[in-house]
Amino acid sequence: TQLTASGEGVYVNAASSYTLDQDLTAGGLLSLTSGGTFTIDADRTLKTTNAGSILLNSGVAWNGTGTLTLNSDDDIALNGAIDGKNGGLTLRANGTGGSDDVGTISTGSDGTVDVGTFNLPKGYWYQVGASLPSFEALDFRTNHYNASFVRAQGGDGSVADPYQLFDVYGLQGITGLDTLGNQPSGNNGRSYQLVADIDATGTSEWNGGVGFAPVFLAGSLDGGGHTIDGLYVYKPNDNAGLIGTWDNQLESGSAVSVEIKDLSLTNAHVVAAGNYEAGILFGHSQSYAGTLTLANIYVSGTVSGGSSYRVGGVGGYYSSAESRTATNIRADVDVSGGANSEAGGLFGYVEAGLNLTDSSFTGTVSGQRVGGLIGYTYDDGSITNSWASATVTSVGDDSNLGGLVGRLDSNFSISGSWFSGSVLGTDSNAKVGGLVGLASGNVGISNAFTSGSTTASGDSGIAGGLVGLADGLHVSDSYASGSTVASGGSGIAGGLIGWADRASVTTSYASGLVDGALSGGLVGQSAYIYFNLTDSVWDREASGQSVAVGDLGVGTVSNVDGVTSAEMKQLSTFVDHGFDVDDEGGTGAAWRIYEGNTAPLLRSFMTGLTVTGGNSTKTYDGSATSADVGTLVYGSPYDSALIFGTAGYLAANADAGVYTGADLSLSGLYSSQFGYDLTLVSGSLAITPKALTVSVDADSKIYDGTTVATGSFGSLSGLIGGDVVNVSGSASFAFSDKNVGTSKTVTVTGIGLTGADAGNYTLASTAATTANITPKALTVIALANDKVYDGTTAGTGSIGTLSGLVSGDTVGVSSASFAFSDKNVGTSKTVTVTGIGLTGADAGNYTIASTATSSADITPATLWVAANAASMTYGDGAPTLGYTYGGLVGGDDASVLTGALSSNATSTSNVGSYGISQGSLSAGGNYQIAFTGADVTVNRRAVTVQADDLQRTINEANPALTYNIVSGTLVNGDQLSGSLWTPADANSPAGAYDIDQGSLVLSANYDLTYLGGVLTVLDEPGVPTPTVRPQTFESSPPLPVEAGDGTTDTCEPVIVRESGPITVHPCNRSYGAWLSAAVE
């Protein structure tokens, strides 16, 4: 509705709440104020023309799905709350034209927004303040080229004072464009800083389900250590990520160095496709001058590039006019690129000048040129102190895959870096390397290693432990310990390099499996004169390779050997091959080896740790070693899981004495590649003389009344083999007393030591042993009695005569108890007899076993079970059969009874009696059931039939006599037979006639009750017809009825005819109603 003419404004002042039930247009300013709240009943538009602004001074609230559109020809002011959770809000501030082509949208302190969909197609939304009105939208949409959305707790967007972002809506408002969608002149865009963690999980519903719209950042972003969680981006037709494009200048020649730092993005999901770039942080970056720097970035989630050709966990395409520096960049992401993609765990494609340090990747990454860190990069760059632990796989043909970089060109170095996991190239021409797939043009790798598997499964694939294909490569102080396999029919595999054109390798080794159609322990094939392999080693046992180079076309090989797996752990092996290596801690040599425990380890990946032994003591044992090193003292905090082995001391010699300093060394501990460079310092070791004991054997005897003992002098106990020590003197043996006993002490006296090594030992001059004065053993026979099962193991029996008793001695047998092995029924069951003992004056001189065994039977007990009689109605389900029982013993209860009684009675059984049998009822093996049966009685099924009341005209034939079953049901397919009968015929006069049961019957399985009906013959002319009024009574007794003869009766209903005799019919009371009738 056009409210005013052009140039005239409108002020709407409602005293109370007011419904906007139509669209409104003002020719100038439109101001709306209400004493209550405005509401809308459907989609409504408020519009101004002629440079008119819209002032919404009061709140608007609605519950419906309608959208409120404010279309201003200048500015919009929201001074009241917008509450339309189920609806939408669209703001279009068109400005007045020219330099004011976009209007400003402002909010008052009450200008909260809570809507289902927020849409800003045009306008400059500006909210900056420490305390802002709340804002909530399930679906948030803004046009970055015609609109600007600033929502921050402070700042002005400059590098010095960035906007302070605190929620996901302000995050979506990041832009490098001015309010007209143009590149602003004279500055470098806007910079931002997070001041709170941001929950972005709701972005999956934005923009109709395609999620967060990647922003254009033309400045810096400081994460402030905060996290953005749950970001969802689906952008198949543009660069995808939190940031679609990151730039540092908005016009040629106007640029500064900017950075993104201290930011985490977790659980992100980013999807792009086509010739666009994708990464969780940014899709594309570029600059014409200055640098774009990344520092302290962490991302996790998934990035899917589809057919995109540059995909990375952090960024798809990373470029700037000057060098790119990325420090402490970490990603835990699943990255998938297309068949023509460059894909990396951190970056898909990086232009010249990258300096990547202290960075890492975990997860999976796939593409054509694909690496655990970078898919492809080149020229004047470096990767330092970085690693990937990942699964790297190929997509498409002619792939380049590396644990760190897929393809690397021209003046690039990798140092202090490593890879673990797996690299798999499946296409026929895949170049697969543990660190780099294809390296060309003066690429250097030093102080680096891989422990992962490297596989090229295609027909002509090339696999190298470090590099797949090398054309301009220099490798030093590096190693590969994982498997390297080129399984195709023409595959080439090398422990360090698959195929080498121009390459040099020195002081490096390979220790894993190498397998391919053409393969070598270090290099699969060399094909150029500028190939130089020197001072290197491979494990010929683990690799299965007998030559260093599978096909040495040209080039030189010098001081290169295959050694055994044991020799790979020997210092001398690598000293002989020119390695800067030692087996001491903290020396500064490039390599550290733990003799006998590890192959050489790169010291730069290890942490120095000093371990000092304690003061220990050991008893002389003939050796100079000691497992006791006292309490070890560690020079700094450490992880015990990274220290292996057992510490021990080695003294200058084995004799008793105290050893320190140069006379004592600490050894036995070692670590791993990510463990410690151990420096071991000894304490002290005291070796004390060893105490010896004399081995003597005394003879046992039968009691003879004396302490005299006999025996033999045995060997010294504890003597170290080879030592010369003897026992001197003679010995005498004596029991402690004359009495019978076991292990009686026998004392040996008169012992001494002689010999060359006697100084390392001590020995007591007396020794002791034991012997027995033994009683005579007797035996006894026990007899057990059979019993009936009683639920216990108790038994009875008798003890026979003693055997072996010396004539004349007084000895008897004490009482004993008998017990079966268990309580259950069985034959020849073991019976244990316990408590057998001896009594009598001479019992002390004898022994007898306190237990014996016999056997006897346990027979079943009788359990009486009587079935309970049961009944059922014909056609119903069989009843549950119960029973009573008696005779359980020994705490047994009803749980011993299993199974159930049985009967032939079923729902189809005829009326009668059916026996109940024992069926499957059982009481187990310990009882025999004495069963008494009973019967299931099948009773007749009650059915009541009600004849239908009928009528006809006089002289007509009778209608069919019909009926209904009003109580009970027929079952098993049974049917009524026969028909009803009435005395009325075609000649009967008008009146009421009974309808009788006639021949209607059911089978003997039913108890049939018949309720009669009435056939009424209507009048002929001149023949009166009685009028009957049925009456219904809800209580008893029935209503008395007076007949024509003056008598009364009580029945219901009573039907009375004027002609003929009075007929009384019984009342049907089955429905609880009392019926009666009376003559008019």
Nearest CA-CA partner of 583 in 568, 593, 570: 593
Determine the Cα–Cα distance for residues 390 and 423; give it in Å rounded to an integer: 8
What pLDDT score was predicted for residue 1050? 45
Q: What is the mean pLDDT of residues 344-363?
A: 96
CB 871 within 8 A of CB 913: no
What pLDDT score was predicted for residue 767? 82
Q: Beta strand pairing status for 676-681 and 741-749?
A: unpaired
Determine the Cα–Cα distance for residues 426 and 432; give it in Å rounded to an integer: 10
Q: What is the mean pLDDT of residues 187-203?
A: 90
pLDDT at 1044 over 90: no
Q: What is the mean pLDDT of residues 1029-1045?
A: 40
Mean pLDDT across the chain: 89
Determine the Cα–Cα distance for residues 281 and 318; give it in Å rounded to an integer: 11
499: left (phi over 0), alpha (psi -120 to 50) or beta: beta
Q: Beta strand pairing status for 258-272 and 315-318?
A: unpaired
For residues 102 and 1042, which has the higher predicted lDDT (pLDDT)?
A: 102
What pLDDT score was predicted for residue 941? 96
What are the start-end ranges of the H helices in 193-334?
none
pLDDT at 16 over 90: yes
Q: Which of 453-467, 585-599, 894-908 is the least confident region?
A: 894-908
Question: Percentage of residues in the chain with pLDDT exceeding 90?
Answer: 72
- The Cα-based distances of 384 to 193, 443, 467 in angstroms read 29, 14, 17
What pLDDT score was predicted for residue 773? 87
Q: Which residues neighbour 72 within 8 Å (Cβ) at sequence distance 6 or greater?
A: 30, 47, 48, 52, 53, 54, 92, 93, 94, 103
Determine the Cα–Cα distance for residues 1012 and 832; give it in Å rounded to an integer: 84
Q: Sorting pLDDT into bands at 50, 70 and 90, what band is 782?
A: confident
Q: How many residues would you count in the chain?
A: 1080
Q: Sorting pLDDT into bands at 50, 70 and 90, what band is 1067?
A: very low
pLDDT at 477 over 90: yes
Give per-residue pLDDT as tens, 398-419.
Answer: 999 999 999 999 999 999 999 9
pLDDT at 712 over 90: no
Determine the Cα–Cα distance for residues 416 and 431; give it in Å rounded to an integer: 23
CB 886 within 8 A of CB 866: no
The burial of 1022, by beta-carbon neighbours within 10 Å (0-12 exposed, 13-18 middle, 19 or more buried), is given as: exposed
Give per-residue pLDDT as tens, 543-579.
Answer: 999 999 999 988 899 999 999 999 999 999 999 999 9
What does the DSSP assignment read for 563-601? Answer: E-TTGGG-HHHHHTTT--EESSTTS--SEE--TTT-S-E
Q: Which of 174-178, 938-942, 1073-1077 is the least confident region?
A: 1073-1077
What pLDDT score was predicted for residue 705? 54
Determine the Cα–Cα distance for residues 227 and 250; give it in Å rounded to an integer: 28
Give per-residue pLDDT as tens, 713-755.
Answer: 778 889 999 999 988 767 788 999 877 888 899 988 888 888 9
CATH architecture of 861-939: Roll (3.10)
What are the sequence ranges of the domains in the chain? Answer: 1-143, 397-596, 607-688, 691-761, 776-859, 861-939, 943-1079
CB 421 within 8 A of CB 433: no
pLDDT at 955 over 50: yes
Site of tokens 């690129």:
337
pLDDT at 321 over 70: no
Q: Sorting pLDDT into bands at 50, 70 and 90, what band is 178?
A: low
Give per-residue pLDDT as tens, 272-311.
Answer: 987 889 999 999 998 767 788 999 999 999 999 876 689 9
Longest CA span, the chain: 161
The burial of 42, by beta-carbon neighbours within 10 Å (0-12 exposed, 13-18 middle, 19 or more buried), is given as: middle
Q: Which of 7-21, 360-374, 408-422 is the least confident region?
A: 7-21
Question: Percentage of residues in the chain with pLDDT exceeding 70?
Answer: 91
Q: Sorting pLDDT into bands at 50, 70 and 90, what band is 249?
A: low
Q: Is 998 helix (H, G, I), strand (E, B) or coil?
A: coil
Q: Which tokens belong to 430?
A: 């895949």
For residues 833 and 115, which has the higher predicted lDDT (pLDDT)?
A: 115
Q: Which tokens belong to 1054?
A: 């009573």
Q: What is the mean pLDDT of residues 195-212?
A: 96
| Terminal Cα distance for the chain, rounded | 78
Q: Which tokens belong to 699?
A: 């003879």
Amino acid letter for position 788: V
Nearest CA-CA partner of 377 in 447, 451, 310, 307: 310
What pLDDT score was predicted for residue 1063? 39
pLDDT at 1069 over 90: no
pLDDT at 322 over 80: no
The burial of 901, by beta-carbon neighbours within 10 Å (0-12 exposed, 13-18 middle, 19 or more buried), is given as: buried
* The 3-state secondary structure of 89-108, one letter per residue: EEEEECCCECCECCCEEEEC
Q: What is the pTM of this model?
A: 0.68
Neighbouring C-beta atoms of residue 994, cutoff 10 Å = 17
- The Cα-based distances of 344 to 333, 377, 849, 935 in angstroms read 10, 10, 82, 85
Q: Which tokens belong to 557?
A: 């090989």
